[in-house]
Structure 1
């Protein structure tokens, strides 16, 4: 767009008149962009209070001193740099009724790790899930006090977070993938529950009832909105849903996040400042971020990077994997497919159709009225194994 203002031109009354097409965009960026509008509408001390309140909610943590031997970021063509954000879900199961997958104890864990990649041209975004049961060679990292945490061969992916928090998970990710991270975000799962409630619940299609009397879970089949502890248990549950695998749980989490994204950018949230502020309050209160995202304006700027990406271009996949030959209850990354995924992400190239099989997008939710349905039998089986509607 030119900076110079165009000269005034008188309209030609004889020219045929056309109405331009109205472009409808529902994008994640609108959520954080509208935060600025909300702040602008709240005058005087209210603006200052809201801005300070949201900023004070955010926990900022600098992991740089705990990391070493970091890969270089590949220079690619584009109006901006590609963005790589590692999202980790922190879940403390020491509370009463939280041990729904027999993992109580040991403090906070990270059973959800998703790389969010936004392309340099801001035309596509991938959320790539890494199974917590993946067996990997964990590199050495450091505690916040600078003490060395020795590396180890053939350990579960989520052990890094338990030993050294987000910094060790980031070190592990960079060393195993060759992808340089720009930011990280840790989302507290109990705070995640408040985010769901702030948008009035998240709609999911559930093919069969989910019943677990020991933990008070009784979710009826059908398309319904999940709220509160029910929603939290849905994204935590494993053995009582689908085929009981961790990959099935990840796919449900992908579908849930995609559906929540859809809910957040819908008019039901954007048109109601009260609901939007509740959502932002819950979201910021649930976050731990790096200094590059230390306040609501910087987080909003990250959200604005999504403004030209439609919901169908926000795609969630799982890193290719197979059962571990040494233990059928564990996974290993499929090669060379997994390396191909990380190479393409590092070089900001689109994933091939074969590498991005079994995709869930925020604009094509399983079981929804807008769903195009599974593309093949393998996709249908994956949805069934995850306990999702086809």
Structure 2
């Protein structure tokens, strides 16, 4: 991995450029889709043809060929969950199309053998990486680039290039790919009936239009969008702090999904499944309802306490505070742990700028009293 310098980690970072509201919502859209699929199980079969028609997949395997890491072979799975920031179609309400979508949010989800535990590694979109050469969906060769922003892989080559970049970084084969755009986010939260969270302190961020006192709230789609946009209302105002906040919200979302008796309301079950299947673009191994149901059935035992979240170990780039650089040794600890189906050691993230600060403790899916710290999961 290329590196600018071995300078020390900065105590905090301030991003100069503001981002549009849509870019900050894609992480939750991705996990909304994943969580809602888990609810349906085999009960979705009665509306098979309607829901199956919603799905459109991308053949990652055909585009990447054989130049990839080997699979685990022990029942573990790695899933790249990607959120894109296209401004086409309904997404135009959240900003102008800048000439090409980028992967705003990327998470590597490692499901351990037995599918009862998982680790999620968030990759900051501004991470500088050595992007490998790849082939886009039209068969056009795309040149590699050293010290490229991670999210440009999707911009220049689409899903296959994003997958190849992650595989090259991690040494892990991505068994599945799920992409979500952010327009489905609000609808999924609203269809679910909102997401209940507890804020351990007040959040007041005029830029994301979110104002919440400390306490328990049921957020509708617009409020949830504001929460995952919040950057100046918590932490040091950096994107890395926002990732912590988003990770905490993911667990609240999964907790809410598991608490809803959708089988008591066939209409709600259908509405949730219809929204989720419209919101995602999976790989070709998950692009039919039967395949998706089988995949979701294998994950149904996972709850929020079974998911450990970390951020790729990084430091702020001394040459540009809008960028971060991986910490090579620490990042390798993370990827090696997952390859060996072990928990990520605490030492791997101890010196990382990505897991510093209080932002991750601000939101909990459990209804804790204001001022108390929510329990950690993992």
Is residue 224 of structure 2 the alignment partner of residue 231 of structure 1?
A: yes
The 3 A distance-change label for structure 1 pair 350 and 241 is closer
The 3 A distance-change label for structure 1 pair 158 and 297 is same
Question: In the alignment, is the contact (CA less than 8 A) between 1:31 and 1:264 conserved in 2?
Answer: no
Structure 2 length normalisation: TM-score? 0.77
How many angstroms apart in 1 are the aligned matches of 2:160 and 2:53?
22
Shift of 1:245: 1.1
The 3 A distance-change label for structure 1 pair 177 and 162 is same
Q: 2:281 aligns with which of 279, 288, 303?
A: 288
RMSD: 3.0
Task: Kindly provide the CA deviation profile for residues 34-85 of structure 1, in whole angstroms up to 9, marking residues without a partner as x.
Answer: 442354xxxxxxx3xx211111111111122332521112444xxxx11111
Match of 1:60 in 2: 57
Shift of 1:106: 3.0
The 3 A distance-change label for structure 1 pair 152 and 239 is farther
User: Structure 1 residues 268-277 or 109-118, which shifts more?
Assistant: 268-277
How many angstroms apart in 2 are the aligned matches of 1:220 and 1:29?
25
Q: How does 1:371-382 map to 2 (within 5 A)?
A: 373=373
Match of 2:68 in 1: 70
Match of 1:257 in 2: 250
Structure 2: which 5+ runs fail to align?
Answer: 1-33
Q: How does 1:1-390 map to 2 (within 5 A)?
A: 32=38, 34-37=40-43, 39=45, 47=46, 50-68=47-65, 69-76=67-74, 81-93=75-87, 98-99=94-95, 105-206=98-199, 207-212=201-206, 217-222=209-214, 223-239=216-232, 241-269=234-262, 271-355=264-348, 366=364, 368-369=366-367, 373=373
The 3 A distance-change label for structure 1 pair 343 and 250 is same
Question: In the alignment, is the contact (CA less than 8 A) between 1:134 and 1:331 conserved in 2?
Answer: yes
How many angstroms apart in 1 are the aligned matches of 2:44 and 2:157?
38
Task: Kindly provide the CA deviation profile for residues 192-212 of structure 1, in whole angstroms up to 9, marking residues without a partner as x.
Answer: 221111111112334334343
Question: In the alignment, is the contact (CA less than 8 A) between 1:30 and 1:307 conserved in 2?
Answer: no
How many angstroms apart in 2 are the aligned matches of 1:33 and 1:212?
35
Shift of 1:331: 0.9
Structure 1 length normalisation: TM-score? 0.75
How many angstroms apart in 1 are the aligned matches of 2:166 and 2:36?
30
Question: In the alignment, is the contact (CA less than 8 A) between 2:35 and 2:253 conserved in 1?
Answer: no
Shift of 1:191: 0.9
Task: Kindly provide the CA deviation profile for residues 308-332 of structure 1, in whole angstroms up to 9, marking residues without a partner as x.
Answer: 4443112222111111232222111
Q: Which has the larger radius of gyration?
A: 1
Task: Kindly provide the CA deviation profile for residues 246-294 of structure 1, in whole angstroms up to 9, marking residues without a partner as x.
Answer: 1122122212221111111103445433222211111100010111112
Shift of 1:218: 3.9
Match of 2:19 in 1: none
Match of 2:3 in 1: none
How many angstroms apart in 2 are the aligned matches of 1:60 and 1:30?
18
The 3 A distance-change label for structure 1 pair 29 and 108 is closer
The 3 A distance-change label for structure 1 pair 34 and 61 is closer
Structure 1: which 5+ runs fail to align?
Answer: 1-27, 40-46, 380-390
Comparing both structures, which one devotes a greater share of its residues to helix?
2
How many angstroms apart in 1 are the aligned matches of 2:191 and 2:140?
40
Question: In the alignment, is the contact (CA less than 8 A) between 1:258 and 1:365 conserved in 2?
Answer: no
What is the DSSP-based 3-state SS (H/G/I as helix, E as strand, rest coil) of the residue aligned with 1:59? coil
